[in-house]
């Protein structure tokens, strides 16, 4: 794919921002891991970050719902991502929706230093509203990939994460016990 490899300009790496977004179970983490593993195969220096908020599967690894995993560094604030090693060429960030509003500027700084930044996160929360810094990241990205899950109600492509338990908190970590991916019709029909 066009955005799988690093851009070059005048023989040097050009930085860029890629966003992978969608509902829960849509394959965001799988796609992030796929791109990062390709970069590792290409012998690029890769660093991976996730918010400390999300330690559902593992304290430090980024883990997909089907148990594919890569090691990562949990951070409390997006500014910590700027402290990465001087030789870093590719940065991966998972669960970007949980980061603070400085994350887009942090990603811009990294990309302007020549780093390829790949960010994965939920574009919408359980109520169908844009989630955290994701809309700003999508605006400044060179490439945005929206992936779909399969609606558990009807089998259509799903872009919403329906919360199946009663709780209005924006942040509520969980899996299939509290969320199911749904298409537009099944999300808004609410039955």
Ligand X SMILES: Nc1ncnc2c1ncn2[C@@H]1O[C@H](COP(=O)(O)OP(=O)(O)O)[C@@H](O)[C@H]1O
Ligand Y SMILES: Cc1cn([C@H]2C[C@H](O)[C@@H](COP(=O)(O)O)O2)c(=O)[nH]c1=O
Q: Which residues are catalytically annotated?
A: 95
- Shortest spacing between CB 88 and ligand Y, in angstroms: 24
Per rule CB under 6 A, is residue 26 in the interface with ligand X? yes
Per rule CB under 6 A, is residue 72 in the interface with ligand X? no
DSSP 8-class letter at 42: T
Whichever of 24 and 141 has its CB closer to ligand X, that residue is 24
Euclidean distance between the first and final Cα of the chain, in Å? 39
CA distance 125 to 132: 9
CA distance 157 to 165: 22
Pair 49, 73: CB distance under 8 Å: yes
Which residue is listed with tokens 């977004």? 21
Per rule CB under 6 A, is residue 93 in the interface with ligand X? no
- Shortest spacing between CB 182 and Zn ion, in angstroms: 5
Select the span of 10-18, 70-78, 131-139, 182-190 touching Zn ion (CB under 5 A). 182-190
17 interface partner picked from ligand X, ligand Y, Zn ion, none, CB below 5 to 8 A per type:
none
Question: Which of 24, 81, 115, 124 is close enough to bind ligand X by CB under 6 A?
Answer: 24
């Amino acid at each position: 794919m066009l955005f799988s490899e690093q851009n070059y300009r005048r023989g040097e790496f050009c930085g860029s921002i890629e966003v992978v977004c969608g509902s829960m179970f849509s394959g965001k983490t799988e796609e992030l891991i796929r791109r990062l593993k390709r970069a590792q195969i290409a012998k690029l220096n890769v660093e991976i970050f996730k918010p400390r908020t999300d330690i559902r599967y593992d304290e430090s690894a980024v883990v997909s719902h089907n148990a594919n995993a890569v090691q990562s560094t949990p951070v409390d604030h997006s500014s910590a991502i700027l402290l990465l090693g001087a030789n870093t060429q590719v940065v991966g960030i998972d669960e970007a929706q949980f980061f603070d509003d400085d994350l887009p500027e942090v990603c811009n700084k990294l990309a302007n230093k020549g780093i390829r930044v790949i960010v994965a996160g939920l574009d919408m929360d359980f109520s169908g509203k844009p989630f955290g810094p994701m809309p700003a990241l999508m605006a400044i990205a060179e490439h945005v990939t929206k992936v779909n899950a399969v609606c558990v109600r009807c089998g259509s492509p799903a872009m919403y994460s329906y919360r199946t338990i009663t709780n209005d908190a924006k942040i509520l970590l969980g899996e299939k016990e509290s969320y199911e991916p749904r298409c537009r019709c099944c999300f808004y029909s609410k039955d």
